[in-house]
Amino acid sequence: MSAYDDLMLFTRDTQALAQVAGRLGWDQETMMPREAVPQRAEEMAAMEHILHERRLNPRVGEWLEMIDDATLDDVGRAQLRHIRRDFDRASKVPAQLASRIARVTSAAQGKWAEARAADDVAAFLPVLSEVIDLKREEGQALAAGSNVYDAMLSDYEPGTTGDQIASMFGALRPALTDLRVAVRAAKAPPKLSGSYDEAAQMKMTRHLARTFGYDMSRGRVDKAVHPFSSGSGLDVRITTRTSPSDPFNCFYSTIHEVGHGAYEQNIDDAYLLTPLGRGVSMGVHESQSRIYENQIGRSRAFSGWLFGQMRDAFGDFGVPDADTFYRIVNRVNDGFIRTEADELQYNLHVLLRFDIERALMGGDLQVGDLEAAWNDRFETDFGYAVDKPSNGVLQDVHWSVGLFGYFPTYSLGNVYAGCLHEAMRSDLPDLDISLASGDTTPATDWLRANVQTHGGLYEPREVIERAAGQAPTEAPLLAYLTTKFRDIYDL
């Protein structure tokens, strides 16, 4: 066999082990016994140690040197691009540090959950401080004298810097703030009321998953505190959550995670268990979840179909017609939780976290001042005060598991989704006719062909440029949000 063949066989085993490690994380969030946390921390640390050793195995470097890129096709060169990037990263991070991060973040996840349940910030800060110190050490190793936060960001959105994102977010913020102020001054649609059986919600959520093309023969839908998606290829799992008083939380969390899951399921099978067999970046990944949830799932056409489905499932639930239902689905609400935020205000939550975590990593904000900084910023941006830590600084799991650099990809995904939606509507002028009957196939097929099937073949921005026909810009997202909410609120 050639050096390339040997490298790809080795890489396939590494990818398979990474999937097993991911399954351990999924199990910890869904089914693992509560007292198993210390043992699971050791298991995950051991897996990370093995994976780290494989990623920096000297044979990988030798194979990379032996391979002549000119002899490969586009797929082969793309595989090498990812393998080189991962090898370079692994070579910079000591194995002992990688294991310590895995062990500490696994334990921190449990401590975060306990602190969140008790609204006890002080109980979480010591382990968070340890996580930050370890991640900063990792970032310094990766940056090699360059910007530490940019090095962290590159794990989730290769080729993008913190300054570039800050510039884009700076363009988003004034327009979103002005629109939010105008909307909050206008007459709001009614709120959903009543109680909705949680078992019926889970039945509906599985129906919605299939409606959006999620292949249940290669996937699962389970419940977790924080909805997420895990896995790729032939084993992709998503989670959701239920609330008796808020079925939309369940339904739209599910549609959101289906966007992630469908992306992974729809990648070309030829890339299975290779570096190309996964979403190319978290920003592109988030573009899929957000366009499924919002531009498709909260559209007037699709929400009309969902209105009928809810009447069938729950009987008369107090909403008179599909138009009122559409306005309720898109109602702008005061609230604290990012994952429950309406489409208009969601990005303001992300911008808050982006600025805070950059300050934490840069040493401009100390962990002991984190809660006060969060609460001050939230009141400035949203106009009311955080009432308890579980609605504030303790609401997200990301920092406990060391995902610094991840938060900005949520809003970057919204920007990408705006570009994709504009192009999709241009290509599918009759899309609303299908959505009104609950048929999402034209939209999901378009996304599969233009985004999802490529996996990691192209760089993130190139994926969006090829699909949308233009470089990513915030303009389509702002135009979409302005048109939509001015209509709903009669502005």
pLDDT tens sequence across 359-371: 999 999 999 999 9
User: Both tokens of residue 429?
Assistant: 């002028």
In the predicted model, is pLDDT for residue 216 greater than 90? Answer: yes
How far is the CA of 78 from the CAs of 14, 31, 45, 263, 312, in angstroms?
17, 37, 30, 19, 48
Encoded amino acid at 123, one letter:
A
Q: CA 265, 74, 234 angle in degrees (round to 5)?
A: 15
Distances (CA, A) of 167 to 156, 170, 286, 445, 480: 18, 5, 19, 33, 20
Q: How far apart are CA 276 and CA 8, in angstroms?
A: 11
Confidence of residue 224 (pLDDT cuts 50, 70, 90): confident
Q: Would residue 62 show up in a list of annotated catalytic residues for this protein?
A: no
- Angle CA(44)–CA(106)–CA(151) in degrees, nearest 5? 90
Q: How far apart are CA 224 and CA 203, in angstroms?
A: 16
How do residues 36-92 score in pLDDT, each as one tens digit? 989 998 998 899 889 988 988 999 999 999 999 999 999 999 999 999 998 998 889
Q: CA 4 to CA 62: how far, in whole Å?
A: 11
Nearest Cα to Cα of residue 136 among 149, 118, 121, 153:
149
Q: Residue 237 in 3-state DSSP?
A: strand
138 phi/psi in degrees, rounded to 5: -65, -45
Region 154-158 average pLDDT: 93
Active-site entry in 257, 264, 357, 422: 257
- Domains observed in the chain: 3-146 (no CATH), 162-488 (1.10.1370.30)
| Closest by Cα among 318, 198, 317, 172 to 251 | 198
Residue 108 pLDDT greater than 90, yes or no: yes
Q: What is the pLDDT of residues 395-446, one digit of tens each?
A: 999 999 999 999 999 999 999 999 999 999 999 999 999 999 999 999 999 9
pLDDT higher at 15 or 144: 15
Mean pLDDT of the chain: 94
- Cβ–Cβ under 8 Å, residues 350 and 282: no
For residue 401, give the amino acid letter. Answer: V
In the predicted structure, residue 225 carries a pLDDT above the cut 90: no
pLDDT at 99 over 90: no
Q: Judging by DSSP bridges, how do beta strands 235-240 and 219-223 pair with one another? A: parallel
What percent of the chain has a predicted confidence (pLDDT) above 70?
Answer: 100
CA angle 479, 480, 486 (to 5 degrees): 90
Structure tokens that stand for 442 in this block: 């034209």
| CA dist., res. 5 & res. 378, Å (int) | 53
Q: Walk across the sheet containing 235-240 and list its strands.
A: 219-223, 235-240, 229-232
pLDDT bucket at 1, cuts 50 / 70 / 90: confident
Q: Is the pLDDT assigned to residue 144 strictly greater than 90?
A: no
pLDDT for residue 406: 94
Question: 263: closest CA among 286, 295, 241?
Answer: 286
Neighbours of 56 (CB within 10 A): 20
Query: Which positions ≥6 away from 316 have C-beta within 8 Å?
Result: none
Using pLDDT thresholds of 50, 70 and 90, give the confidence band for residue 383: confident
Closest to 397 measured CA to CA, from 27, 33, 122, 105 = 105
Q: What distance in Å separates the CA atoms of residue 464 and residue 179, rounded to the nearest whole number?
A: 26
